[in-house]
Amino acid sequence: MRLKFTPDAKRPDRRRITLLASTSIALLALASAPPSMAQTRLPGVVITGGTLGGQTERLVRPSGTASGQSETETTLQTDGDGQASSTATVNSSGETLVGIPSEKIGSAVAVVTGAELRAQQVRHAAEALRSLPGVQVSSSGGYGGVSQIRMRGAEGNHTLVLIDGIEANATNGGEFDFADLPTEDIERIEVIRGGHSGIYGSKAIGGVINVVTRSGRGPIRVEATGEIGGLETRGGSLRASGGTDRAWLSASAQHRGSDGFNIAERGSEKDPWRSRSLALKGGLKLLPGVTVDFSIRETTRFANTDPEGISPLTGLYGAIDGIGSYETNVLLAGVNLKWDSADGAFTQILRANRNESDGVTRSAFGTSRNLSEAERVGYLATYRFATPGLLGARHAVSGLAEKEMDAFTPFASFTDGLRRERERNAFVAEYRGEYFDRVFLSASVRHDDNDAFKDFTTWRTSVSVPIPEIGIRPHASVGTSVALPGMFEQFGSVLNNFVGNPNLTPEESIGWDAGVEFTFDARSRTVLDVTYFRANLKNEIAADFTNFPVYTLRNLAGESTREGVEVAFKSQPLSWLYLGASYTYLDSRDPDGVREIRRSPHAARADMTATFAGGKGSLNLAAIYNGQVADLNFGTFPSTRVTLDDYLLVNAALSYKIDPRVELFVRGENLLDQDYQEIYGYNTPGLAAYAGFRIKLEDPSTAHWEKYR
């Protein structure tokens, strides 16, 4: 069966008008750009996730850099022998980030910076990740609906999400809902593809998404935004920050809501939603070399929903107008005590964090609530040393001991209401070596001692070999991964619909990738990266409809396979022009050789950002393509496969600073007014426009704190 969506008769004219308008804006912006043809280097990219050592680097302020300059790579960090080993970058906000340069990482990575998020005017993190290499997004009904991220054909609960070092995946299903992640206080999102259980343990089969929020260092500053737009959308944020290298603090609040649209294909009922996020982040230097930092984030989201069923009008299965809603409350909190000694060669971190996700679902059948809890405490140590007489090498050895506790409690009249717990102790060792500044190796091994499942030992290794003389960098990685069943999958239930299976076993995978990064112009840093990947999956957890209409879950026999090619391109040919593009081919199949649902074989993206009027203005254009994708019609027994049409989303964002303190912006989404579905039976929003402002106020008496950013 193939679904074909026929646009309204008026839509072609609106599309032509929209395309003409967006093209005119683009030409006007380019015409206003400065005449200089001077080339510039692409921003340096550093990675803090994907390795244990990347989490232990020190914060250093590059000398001679000014606030507000574009992100520039500056090698500063030194080992105990004075040898440089890591990189500090100054971002568009003037804040300093420290991590491992991407050319020293054998993993396939992509980084979305805070500057890019603000240029694109992205309000939810999932939108920033759409069609990046290896990444696909599925949302059930727009911004207010559940948003899943699948990496390299793996399931949503096979992507590990870290926010300021805190694991954000809920224990009930093992996933993180990206609708719970607004972007205003995000500094960078690192997308690290490939299995990483050898470092992080469960869930990191497809990859890791590492989110770093903005710190509070720098002058005392207050920032506020406000926005209104299509679908009766209203939003705003407020952030206050300030601090030196001795003490710093940042507090932010974000709110967004909409009267919504009808997520069902038929009917006129609107489905409103709203989201609120509060965050507090700070730190204090207790003694020379000793610091403590913390992060607290709470997000609450409410959305009206439509139940799934068979429409009496069309006879098709999907969302139909009806009574329903859900509300989630997510709390992430963490604290770290860090001690640098031996002139920075030895770093120790004691850390503890908590993740609590409380979800309430209301429907015509009643109300259910599921509480997920996770607590982790750990000790991480990294020692760095050099052996200049032996292979001109620098080394970093890291060790982690961690204790984890997961808990799940269902609250509903049709559940037992019992609190389930499971614990594990983990031990991780990692080695990173740099040889002649030419060969960069990493290897890690992790052992998880589980009380509810068998014990697991996973591993990972990678290599990167930059050859700047000919402008290429081969890179490769290989490793094993595991994903524990979600606790709702084991013990949850939905009346007359779903019952858990306590006998599920963990999913296991081995995967590898190999690629080459090409640098075509050493001045403009035009870079193209091509990566091939392949992975298998054993014990895949899938739906079991043996007792339809009530279903459960089971482990499949056989082996699922995922392979494909990822292409990433970026270029900054002019100081005021940035270009980016990506393409992913994916072949993801179940043990029977059938393509898995909600994974398009083809996905692509193109972005252009241009600044004009001396940097006061910015224009961003983005085109996102998702190919045809298979899904299931659960309204038949057995369920039948359907094909959802491909779609092309075109977005545009324009901003202009009328004053150094005041910026105005407008944005258009889905400019082609595409009528498409990401999940069978659920509508998506059409053409919408938004407008708003951003205000930044700074205390001049603290301007000299800028050097601490």
Q: Are the beta carbons of 170 and 27 closer than 8 angstroms?
A: no
Q: Is 183 exposed, middle or buried (0-12, 13-18, 19+ CB in 10 A)?
A: buried
Query: CA nearest 200: which of 254, 256, 161, 257?
Result: 161
Helices (H), 329-449: none
Straight-line distance from the first to the last Cα atom of the chain, in angstroms, rounded to the nearest whole number: 56
Are 476 and 106 contacting, i.e. CB atoms less than 8 angstroms apart?
Answer: yes
Query: Is 92 a residue whose pLDDT tops 60?
Result: no
Cβ-based neighbours of 270, under 8 Å, separated by 6 or more: 259, 260, 261, 262, 304
Q: Which two tokens stand for residue 433?
A: 């070596």
And the tokens for 681? 């039976």
Q: One-letter amino acid identity for 552?
A: T
Instruction: Kindly calculate the radius of gyration of the chain based on its CA atoms and give it in whole angstroms.
Output: 25
| Cis peptide leading into residue 549 (ω within 30°) | yes
Q: What is the 3-state secondary structure (H, E, C) of 439-475?
A: EEEEEEEEEEEECCCCCEEEEEEEEECCECCCCEEEE
Could you tell me the domains of the chain? 11-708 (2.40.170.20)
How far is it, in rounded angstroms, from Cα 88 to Cα 501? 48
φ, ψ for residue 267, nearest 5 deg: 105, 180
What's the pLDDT score for residue 95? 44
Of 676, 679, 656, the C-alpha closest to 666 is 656
Tokens of 402: 């961690």
Report the percentage of the chain scoring pLDDT > 90. Answer: 59
Q: Are 62 and 90 in contact (CB under 8 A)?
A: yes
Paired sense of beta strands 420-435 and 472-483, if any: unpaired
Antiparallel, parallel or unpaired: β 72-78 and 46-47: unpaired
Average pLDDT of the segment spanning 295-303: 95
Residue type at position 537: L
**Residue 227, number of CB atoms within 10 A of its CB:** 20
Please report which confidence band the pLDDT of residue 154 belongs to, taking 50, 70 and 90 as the band edges: very high
* pLDDT at position 524: 57
Q: What pLDDT score does 276 carry?
A: 94
**Residue 230 is encoded by which pair of tokens?**
């299509």
At 353-389, the pLDDT tens digits run 999 999 998 877 778 889 999 999 999 999 999 999 8
Query: How many other C-beta atoms are found inside a 10 Å radius of the C-beta of residue 564?
Result: 23
Mean confidence (pLDDT) of the chain: 85
565-595 pLDDT tens trace = 999 999 998 889 999 999 999 999 999 999 9
* Pairing relationship of beta strands 541-544 and 472-483 according to DSSP bridges: unpaired
- Tokens 């085109």 map to which residue? 623
| Residue 240 reports pLDDT greater than 50 | yes
The pLDDT tens digits of the residues spanning 617-673 come to 999 999 999 999 999 887 776 778 899 999 999 999 999 999 999 999 999 999 999
Residue 2 has pLDDT above 50, yes or no: no
Which two tokens mark 357? 């996700």
Q: How confident is the model at residue 97 (pLDDT cuts 50, 70, 90)?
A: low
Residue type, 36: S
Position 364 scores a pLDDT of 74
The mean pLDDT value for 177-195 works out to: 90
